[in-house]
Amino acid sequence: MKYVMMILIMVSFSCQSTKNTTVNTPQDEALVYYSKGSCMGKCPVYDVWIYEDGSVSYSGIHHVSVKGNIKTKLEEQEFRALKTMLNKDLYEDLAFKKVRDKPITTLRFNGKEYRYYSSKIDGALKEIDTTLKNAIDNITMGYESDENKEG
């Protein structure tokens, strides 16, 4: 009986609820998340997070001019223009169907996620996509990945 009581006590202490805490990573708090997926060829693969203060976190993964992480800030005018675009309503219903060997773009903002092929969009979504690509080009310009440096 003593052993049964000991086991019950041990079980009751081990089953106590723990405080459920979540740690918000900077990526969770992003105004915009923009990601280019891979293809079977040499498509650029990267992730970008843009925050409310205009700061940007870029992570180059494959087939990009800059591999690794860059932290920078968008120009004020560029950031204001992007925020204006993001506040427009996108009434586009994207019928997403996975196609072999096409890179998928993921765009997340205003609580919504859009998955699409850049070549298959138009309207406001195309405008946002183009603006983000140009911003990323500006961010990576002037940086050189270790892979591309001569040793």
CATH number at residue 125: 3.30.1560
Q: Does some domain include residue 129?
A: yes
Q: Does some domain include residue 5?
A: no
Q: Does some domain include residue 112?
A: yes
pLDDT at 97 (0 to 100) = 73
Report the candidate in 116, 114, 121 with the shortest Cα–Cα distance to residue 97.
Answer: 116
Q: Does some domain include residue 116?
A: yes
| Reported pTM | 0.74
Range of the domain at 111: 23-140
Q: The tokens of 97 are what?
A: 């169907």
Q: The tokens of 119 are what?
A: 């070549």
pLDDT at 99 (0 to 100) = 77
pLDDT 10s digits, 13-72:
554 444 433 334 445 589 999 999 999 999 999 999 999 999 999 999 999 999 999 999
Place of tokens 């940086």: 143
Q: Does some domain include residue 18?
A: no
Q: Does some domain include residue 66?
A: yes
Q: Give the count of domains, the chain.
A: 1
Q: Does some domain include residue 2?
A: no
Q: Does some domain include residue 121?
A: yes
pLDDT at 18 (0 to 100) = 40
pLDDT 10s digits, 83-116:
999 988 776 666 667 777 889 999 999 899 999 9
DSSP states of the chain: -HHHHHHHHHHHHHT----------GGGG-SEEEEE---SS---EEEEEE-TTSEEEEEEEESSSS-EEEEEE--HHHHHHHHHHHTS-----------TT-PPEEEEETTEEEEE-GGG--HHHHHHHHHHHHHHHHHHTT---TTTS--
